[in-house]
Structure 1
Amino acid sequence: MTRILVVEDDADVATVLRVLLTRAGYEVLQAEDGREGMRRLFDAEPDLMVLDIGLPGLDGWQVLERTRDMTDLPVLLLSARGAEADRVRGLRAGADDYLGKPFGHEELLARIEALLRRAGPARWAGAAQDTALRLVPERRSAVWRGVEVRLSDIEYRLLQMLVRNRGRVVTTEQLLTEVWDDPAGLGRDRVKFAVLRLRRKLQQAADRADPPIESIRGLGYRYLPGP
């Protein structure tokens, strides 16, 4: 059974999430604060985490940062704050999706289903490579200019999609549909920040050498094949 870790300090919201997810067929693990959430993450190895930002003590931002140091687990952020700045900060920090409170029950379940579908390994198991870059599917990493770079699941799928279509522009809408399973195109910022994170990782791995990912204003992105 798919395990979902809910890290939420509001008892009423936590109860709603537990009932909703249990009825949907998930096994639900719960934590009331960030430190307990990290312990349960380490002990139980869930398939997805629903994480509230406004936690006591170790807040959601810190939990997200530490989670990304440990695992590529899909993370859905929840927050009562509807400000764009919080959404942008969450996406930049590596969250896979963001949902404001109050949230619709059906929307929450749909977003969780999409995150779990994206995390499935089979669709993205194939290797892809170019002159200076090789993808390693069994480790979800890339070897760029001879240096292996660890990638999140999203970053790996994004890079694989671009390399598979090297030399051609892949639109933001195509990336949302294929990588994020978001055919409605409602999360365009996710693409921009994922590309920024990916480029930064590749640059840091190879003495600041620019990775061959080109932004095409108003359209999308293109991987430039090596000579």
Structure 2
Amino acid sequence: MQTVLVVEDDHSIALLLKAYLEHAGFQVLVAADGEEALSKFPDINPALVLLDLMLPGKDGWTVLDEVRRQSSCPVIIVTARGAVEDRLQGFKQGADDYVPKPFDPDEVVARVEAVLRRPAHLIEPELVRYGTLVVNFTSRVVTVKGKTIPLAPRHWELLAFLVRHPNQVLTRDQLLDHVWGMDYDGGDRAVDVSVKRIRQSLQEWPANEGEIVTIRGKGYLLRVL
């Protein structure tokens, strides 16, 4: 049985996550603050950490940094801080996914399961390779056939989100929420324009290795073998 460490100072939210995760077959341990999380982490050796950012004492950013120094354990940030700047910072510091509050607990469980299914393409904790496409989440560098591909910050974040969810249909609304942020009030045309530019940047990536596919009426999918 895989263990999930829930780091959450709101007791009701912690109990909600614990109940849903246990129902899905996980063993769940809860830490109410950053100090407790870091003291438990080495002994628990969890399969995944669900991490709130706004914690008493050591905040979630500090916990994430320390976890990354110790381990490649997947971390999903679950927080009320849904601004795009916070999401970018989370991914830059090594988070594997980012779920804004309020959330659907079933979706959180689904994301936990998806992240734990992901290791097949991981070469090292923050490096993903699909054929000649290599995405380094630590340095935020993308290369194709060894050549660095320059990307605007928003395009990097969009590509990174697609890469973290291979062969999964992502709606335009999902992409807007996770890349542009919940407070973005523009239209979903921004997603289409950004995908077009990413495709242009990745034009040397062979289609038989992977491609960003348009799913008509829904959104996009990063198809990889």
**Which TM-score bucket, shorter chain as reference?**
0.5 to 0.7
Q: Which residue of 2 aligns with 1:184?
A: 170
Residue 156 in structure 1 maps to residue 142 in structure 2:
no
- List alignment gaps of at least 5 residues for structure 2: 135-142, 150-154, 180-195, 206-225
Q: Give per-residue Cα distances to partners, 1:134-178, cap 9 Å, x unaligned.
A: xxx5xx3xxxxxxxxxxx2xx32247661697389x998887566
Q: How far apart, CA to CA, are the structure 2 residues paired with 1:33 and 1:190?
A: 25
Change (3 A) 1:40 1:217: same
Once the two structures are superposed, what CA deviation does each residue of 1:1-34 show, in whole Å capped at 9, x if it has no partner?
0110000111010110111111111000111110
TM-superposed CA distance for 1:180, in Å, is: 2.8
Cα distance change of structure 1 residues 84 and 58 upon mapping to structure 2, 3 Å threshold: same
Q: Return the offset for 1:79.
A: 0.9
Q: TM-score, normalised by structure 1?
A: 0.63
**Relative to structure 1, is the Cα distance of residues 187 and 75 closer, same or farther in structure 2, using a 3 angstrom cutoff?**
farther
Give the aligned length: 171
1:66-118 deviations in whole A, cap 9, x for unaligned? Answer: 11111111110011122222212111211111111110122111111111111
SS of the residue 1:95 aligns to? coil
Distance 1:57 1:222 in 2: 47
1:36 and 1:15 map into 2 onto residues whose CA distance is: 17
State the distance in 1 between where 2:48 and 2:23 align.
17
Q: Which residue of 1 aligns with 2:121?
A: 124
Aligned counterpart, 2:198:
218
In structure 2, the partner of 1:107 is: 107
What is the rounded CA distance, in whole Å, between the counterparts of 2:24 and 2:54 in structure 1? 26
Counterpart-to-counterpart distance in 2, 1:222 and 1:12 = 48
- Give the residue type in structure 2 aligned to 1:43: D
Alignment partner of 1:80 is 2:80: yes
Task: Give the root-mean-square deviation of aligned CA atoms.
Answer: 3.5
Q: 1:189 to 1:102 in 2, by over 3 A?
A: closer
Unaligned runs of 5+ in 1: 126-136, 141-151, 192-215
Specify whether residues 165 and 85 from structure 1 end up closer, same or farther in structure 2 by C-alpha distance, changes over 3 A only: closer
Q: Is the 8 A contact 2:20 2:106 kept in 1?
A: no
1: CA distance between counterparts of 2:17 and 2:163? 28
2:60 aligned partner = 60
Equivalent residue runs for 1:164-175 within 5 Å: 166=145
Tell whether the 8 Å contact from 1:88 to 1:189 is kept in structure 2 after alignment: no
One-letter code aligned to 1:156: L
Could you tell me which amino acid in structure 2 is paired with residue 3 of structure 1? T
Q: How high is the TM-score relative to the length of structure 2? A: 0.64
CA distance in 2, matches of 1:223, 1:156: 20
Secondary structure in 2 matching 1:94: coil
Which has the higher mean CA deviation after the structures are superposed, 179-188 or 3-12? Answer: 179-188
Q: Report what 1:133 is aligned to.
A: none
Amino acid at match of 2:198: G
> Are residues 27 and 174 of structure 1, via their aligned partners in 2, closer, same or farther at CA, if it must alter by over 3 Å?
same
